[in-house]
C-alpha cells in the first residue's frame, strides 16, 4: 500500500517495454497486458486516494529512500489523488474501448508499438499528476508528449503532419517550462515543490523569479491548450485514431490544468499568484476571450471531432476562470471541473468514435437516423452533451455552480456572464446535433450516400460498455458531488483561502 504512489508510474513504465518486446513475437498478448497494467494502475490510484483519505493528510513516497529535496518525491494529496483516480478510470475505459477500434484503425504490424505507446502515455500522465518534483514533472511531461506525438501520427490523412506541428508547439512549451524550472533552480537550488514553497516567499520580489514564473505558466499553458496557444490541438486530436483521441483528449489537457493549479497555488503561495503578481487575473481575462472564441468556432465546425476539440479549449477556459476567481469556491469549481471534464470528454469522444466507426460519418449534418441504429451511443452523447451544457443533475452543472459562486464572491461579473453565455453557446451546439440525430425531416439535406455493399455492424460490447460507464459516472458525480467536494476537494484547497 505504501508503494502505490511509485507503483502507479513504475508498473506501466515497465509494462510498456514488456508489451513492446512480447508483442513483436506474439501480437495477442498486447491487449491483455495493456488492460492488466491499466487495471493495476486503477487499483494503485484508488489505493493512494484511500490512504490519503484515511490518514487525512498527504502520502509521501521518497524514491530510492532519498530524502527530499535531494531525491525525487512522489506526493499524493487530496487534490491530485482525485485527479489521479479519474485519470486511471478513464485510461482503463479508453483501454477497453480501444480493443475493436485498434483492429479497425491500426495496421496489424503496428499493434505492439501502439499498445506500448498507449501504456507509456498513461505512465506520463500518472507521473505528472503524482510527482512532487519540478524536474521530474518535466521528464514525465516529455514522456507523455512524445508518446502522444507518435500515437497521433498513426492517424488518418494528414495526421503525421498534425503530429509534427504538435511536436513543434509541444517542444516549445516544454522548453519554456524547463527554462522556468531552471530559473527556480538557479535562484533556490531546489527542485522539490514543497521545498520551493518554503524557500520562495522571501524572494517574491526578485525579477528573475518572476521571469521563471512566467516561463512556467506559458509552458504549462501550451500543454493544456490554453487559448491562444491551443492551435496545435484541433488538428492533432481530430486526425488521431479514435482510440488515441479517446485517451488523449480527455486527459492530457486536464493534467496540464492540474499542473497549472499546482504551480499557482502550491509551489507558489496563493497570495503571490493572485495579489503580488496578478497572474490569475490575466489568465482569467485570456480565458474569457478563449471561451468566446472557441465556443463560436466550435459552432462553425461540421466535423464532430473537430467540434469537440474546440470544446476542450472552451472547457479549459472555464477552469481558467475558476482559477482567476482567486477564492475557495472558484478553485473548488476549477478542480471539480477538471475531474468532470475528464469524464465528459471521454464520453463524447467515445460516442463520436463509435458513430464514425459504425455509422461511417463524422459530419454533424449526416447524423439523421443514428438514434435508430445506435440508440445506446446516441443516449450517451445526449447525456454528455447535457453535462457540457450544464443541465442538472449531471456533473457539468455542479462544477458550473461552484464556478458561478466563485465569480460572484469575487464580484467578477464579466467572468460570470461569460460562464453563463458559454453554456448557452454550448446549448446551441449540442441541441443542433440532437435535432439532427433524433428528428428526421430535413428535406434540405439529401440522404447520405452509403458505400455500396456495406452493411451496418453493431457496436461491440467493448465499445459501448465504457461509454455507458462514463455516462453513469457523469450522472453519479453530479448527484454525489457534495461527498466529493466536502470530503475531498475541501481539503485540496491551499490553507489561507
Partner 1 sequence: MDILNSFRPMLAVLVSLVAAALILISGRRPNLREAWTLLAAGAKFLIVLSMAPSILKGQVMEYTLLALTPGISLQLRVDAFGLYFGLLASGLWIATSFYSIGYMRGLKEHAQTRYYFCFAVAISSTIGVAFAGNLLTLFLFYEILTVSTYPLVAHKETPEALAAGRKYLVYLLTSAVVVLFSIVYTYQLAGSLDFVGGGFLKGKGSLETLRILFIFFILGFGTKAAFMPIHEWLPSAMIAPTPVSALLHAVAVVKAGVFSCLRVIEYVFGPSLLSELDLWWVLAYFVSFTIIGASLLALAQDNLKRRLAFSTISQLSYIILGAALVTPAALLGSILHMAFHGFMKITLFFCAGAILVQTGKEKISEMNGIGRRMPWTMGAFAVGAIGMAGIPPVCGYLSKWYLCLGSLDAKEMIFILILLTSSLLNVAYFFPIVYSAFFKKEGEAGPAARADASWWMLAPILVCALMSIILGLHPDAFVRFHQIALAVVANIKGF
Note if the bond before 264 is cis, omega within 30 degrees: no
Q: Does 401 bind partner 1 (CB under 8 A)?
A: yes
Angle between the 304-325 and 328-358 helix axes, to the nearest 10 degrees?
A: 170
Nearest approach, Cβ of residue 264 and partner 1 (Å): 24
The single residue among 17, 70, 431, 456 that binds partner 1, judged by CB under 8 A, is: 431
Nearest approach, Cβ of residue 404 and partner 1 (Å): 5
Find cell 505558466 and name the residue. Answer: 217
Which window, 19-27, 38-46, 303-311, 422-430, contacts partner 1 (CB under 8 A)? 422-430
Q: Does 364 bind partner 1 (CB under 8 A)?
A: no
Q: Does 481 bind partner 1 (CB under 8 A)?
A: yes
Q: What is the per-residue burial (b if ≥16 Cβ within 10 Å, else e) of 428-461?
A: ebbeebbebbeeeeeeeeeeeeeeeeeeeeebbe
Nearest approach, Cβ of residue 439 and partner 1 (Å): 4
Q: Does 445 bind partner 1 (CB under 8 A)?
A: no
Whichever of 4 and 464 has its CB closer to partner 1, that residue is 464
Whichever of 301 and 481 has its CB closer to partner 1, that residue is 481
The distance from CA 402 to its chain's CA centroid, rounded to whole angstroms, is: 20
Whichever of 245 and 407 has its CB closer to partner 1, that residue is 407
**Cα distance between residue 332 and residue 404, in whole Å:** 11
Residues 6+ apart with CB under 8 A from 435: none
Nearest approach, Cβ of residue 464 and partner 1 (Å): 16
Which window, 169-177, 397-405, 446-454, 467-475, contacts partner 1 (CB under 8 A)? 397-405
Q: CB neighbours (10 Å) of residue 171?
A: 15
Whichever of 180 and 347 has its CB closer to partner 1, that residue is 347
Backbone angles phi, psi at 62, to 5 degrees: -100, 115
**Region 271-290 residues binding partner 1, contact defined as CB under 8 A:** none
Nearest approach, Cβ of residue 431 and partner 1 (Å): 6
Find cell 481530430 and name the residue. Answer: 238
Residues 6+ apart with CB under 8 A from 373: 358, 359, 456
Judged by CB under 8 A, the number of residues near partner 1 is 33
Q: Write the CA distances from 106 to 137, 212, 242, 463, integer angstroms.
A: 30, 42, 10, 16
Which window, 9-17, 135-143, 433-441, 459-467, contacts partner 1 (CB under 8 A)? 433-441
Site string for partner 1, 319-348 (x = CB under 8 A): ------------------------------
Which window, 150-158, 165-173, 266-274, 478-486, contacts partner 1 (CB under 8 A)? 478-486
The single residue among 282, 435, 456, 458 that binds partner 1, judged by CB under 8 A, is: 435
Query: What region does 322 belong to: left with phi over 0, alpha with psi -120 to 50, or beta?
Result: alpha
Find cell 537550488 and name the residue. Answer: 189
Q: Does 4 bind partner 1 (CB under 8 A)?
A: no
Q: Does 449 bind partner 1 (CB under 8 A)?
A: no
Which string of DSSP letters, residue by residue, matches 320-363?
HHHHHH-SHHHHHHHHHHHHHHHHHHHHHHHHHHHHHHHT---B
The answer to whether residues 14 and 8 touch, using CB atoms and an 8 Å cutoff, is no
H/E stretch holding 14 = helix 4-25
Residues 6+ apart with CB under 8 A from 97: 243, 246, 350, 353, 462, 463, 466, 467
The single residue among 92, 307, 485, 493 that binds partner 1, judged by CB under 8 A, is: 485
The single residue among 441, 446, 447, 453 that binds partner 1, judged by CB under 8 A, is: 441
Q: Which of 69, 224, 82, 212 is nearest to 144 (CA)?
A: 224
Whichever of 296 and 420 has its CB closer to partner 1, that residue is 420
Q: CB neighbours (10 Å) of residue 297?
A: 17
The distance from CA 400 to its chain's CA centroid, rounded to whole angstroms, is: 17
Q: Does 386 bind partner 1 (CB under 8 A)?
A: yes
Q: Does 497 bind partner 1 (CB under 8 A)?
A: no
Which window, 93-101, 151-159, 268-276, 474-482, contacts partner 1 (CB under 8 A)? 474-482
Q: Does 393 bind partner 1 (CB under 8 A)?
A: yes
Q: Does 479 bind partner 1 (CB under 8 A)?
A: yes
Q: Name the 3-class secondary structure at 288.
A: helix
Whichever of 156 and 440 has its CB closer to partner 1, that residue is 440
The answer to whether residues 391 and 383 touch, using CB atoms and an 8 Å cutoff, is no
Q: Does 420 bind partner 1 (CB under 8 A)?
A: yes
- All three cell numbers of 454, joined, read 456495406
- All three cell numbers of 121, joined, read 502515455
Q: Does 299 bind partner 1 (CB under 8 A)?
A: no
Q: Does 414 bind partner 1 (CB under 8 A)?
A: no
Nearest approach, Cβ of residue 405 and partner 1 (Å): 6
Residues 6+ apart with CB under 8 A from 67: none
Binding site for partner 1 (CB under 8 A): 386, 389, 391-393, 397-398, 401-402, 404-405, 408-409, 416, 420, 423-424, 427, 431, 435, 438-441, 443, 479-483, 485-486, 490
Amino acid at each position: 500500500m505504501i508503494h502505490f504512489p511509485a507503483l502507479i508510474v513504475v508498473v506501466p513504465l515497465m509494462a510498456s517495454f514488456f508489451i513492446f518486446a512480447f508483442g513483436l513475437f506474439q501480437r495477442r498478448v498486447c491487449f491483455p497486458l495493456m488492460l492488466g497494467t491499466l487495471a493495476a494502475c486503477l487499483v494503485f490510484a484508488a489505493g493512494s486516494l484511500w490512504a490519503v483519505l484515511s490518514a487525512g493528510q498527504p502520502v509521501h513516497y521518497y524514491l530510492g529512500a532519498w530524502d527530499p529535496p535531494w531525491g525525487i518525491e512522489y506526493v499524493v494529496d487530496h487534490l491530485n489523488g482525485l485527479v489521479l483516480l479519474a485519470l486511471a478510470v478513464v485510461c482503463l475505459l479508453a483501454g477497453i474501448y480501444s480493443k475493436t477500434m485498434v483492429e479497425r484503425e491500426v495496421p496489424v504490424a503496428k499493434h505492439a508499438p501502439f499498445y506500448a505507446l498507449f501504456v507509456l502515455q498513461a505512465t506520463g500522465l500518472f507521473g505528472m499528476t503524482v510527482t512532487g518534483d519540478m524536474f521530474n514533472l518535466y521528464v514525465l511531461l516529455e514522456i507523455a508528449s512524445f508518446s502522444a506525438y507518435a500515437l497521433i501520427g498513426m492517424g488518418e490523412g494528414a495526421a503525421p503532419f498534425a503530429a509534427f506541428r504538435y511536436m513543434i508547439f509541444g517542444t516549445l512549451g516544454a522548453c519554456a517550462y524547463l527554462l522556468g524550472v531552471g530559473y527556480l533552480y538557479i535562484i533556490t537550488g531546489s527542485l522539490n515543490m514543497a521545498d520551493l514553497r518554503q524557500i520562495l516567499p522571501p524572494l517574491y520580489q526578485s525579477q528573475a523569479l518572476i521571469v521563471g514564473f512566467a516561463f512556467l505558466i506559458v509552458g504549462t499553458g501550451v500543454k493544456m491548450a490554453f487559448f491562444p496557444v491551443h492551435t496545435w490541438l484541433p488538428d492533432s486530436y481530430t486526425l488521431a485514431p479514435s482510440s488515441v483521441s479517446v485517451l488523449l483528449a480527455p486527459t492530457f489537457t486536464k493534467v496540464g490544468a492540474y499542473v497549472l493549479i499546482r504551480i499557482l497555488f502550491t509551489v507558489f503561495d496563493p497570495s503571490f499568484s493572485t495579489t503580488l503578481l496578478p497572474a490569475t487575473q490575466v489568465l482569467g481575462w485570456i480565458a474569457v476571450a478563449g471561451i468566446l472564441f472557441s465556443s463560436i468556432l466550435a459552432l462553425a465546425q461540421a466535423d464532430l471531432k473537430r467540434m469537440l476539440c474546440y470544446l476542450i479549449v472552451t472547457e479549459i477556459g472555464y477552469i481558467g476562470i475558476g482559477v482567476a476567481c482567486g477564492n475557495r469556491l472558484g478553485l473548488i469549481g476549477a478542480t471539480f471541473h477538471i475531474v468532470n471534464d475528464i469524464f465528459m470528454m471521454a464520453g463524447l469522444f467515445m460516442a463520436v468514435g463509435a458513430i464514425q466507426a459504425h455509422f461511417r460519418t463524422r459530419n454533424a449534418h449526416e447524423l439523421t437516423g443514428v438514434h435508430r441504429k445506435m440508440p445506446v451511443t446516441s443516449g450517451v452523447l445526449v447525456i454528455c452533451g447535457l453535462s457540457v451544457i450544464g443541465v442538472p443533475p449531471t456533473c457539468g452543472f455542479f462544477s458550473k455552480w461552484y464556478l458561478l459562486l466563485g465569480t460572484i464572491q469575487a464580484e467578477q461579473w464579466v467572468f460570470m456572464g461569460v460562464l453563463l453565455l458559454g453554456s448557452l453557446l454550448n446549448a446551441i451546439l449540442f441541441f443542433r446535433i440532437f435535432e439532427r440525430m433524433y428528428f428526421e425531416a430535413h428535406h434540405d439535406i439529401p440522404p447520405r450516400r452509403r458505400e455500396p455493399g456495406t452493411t451496418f455492424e453493431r457496436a461491440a460490447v467493448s465499445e459501448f460498455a465504457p461509454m455507458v460507464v462514463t455516462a453513469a459516472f457523469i450522472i453519479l458525480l453530479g448527484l454525489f458531488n457534495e461527498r466529493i467536494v466536502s470530503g475531498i476537494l475541501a481539503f485540496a484547497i491551499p490553507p489561507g483561502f
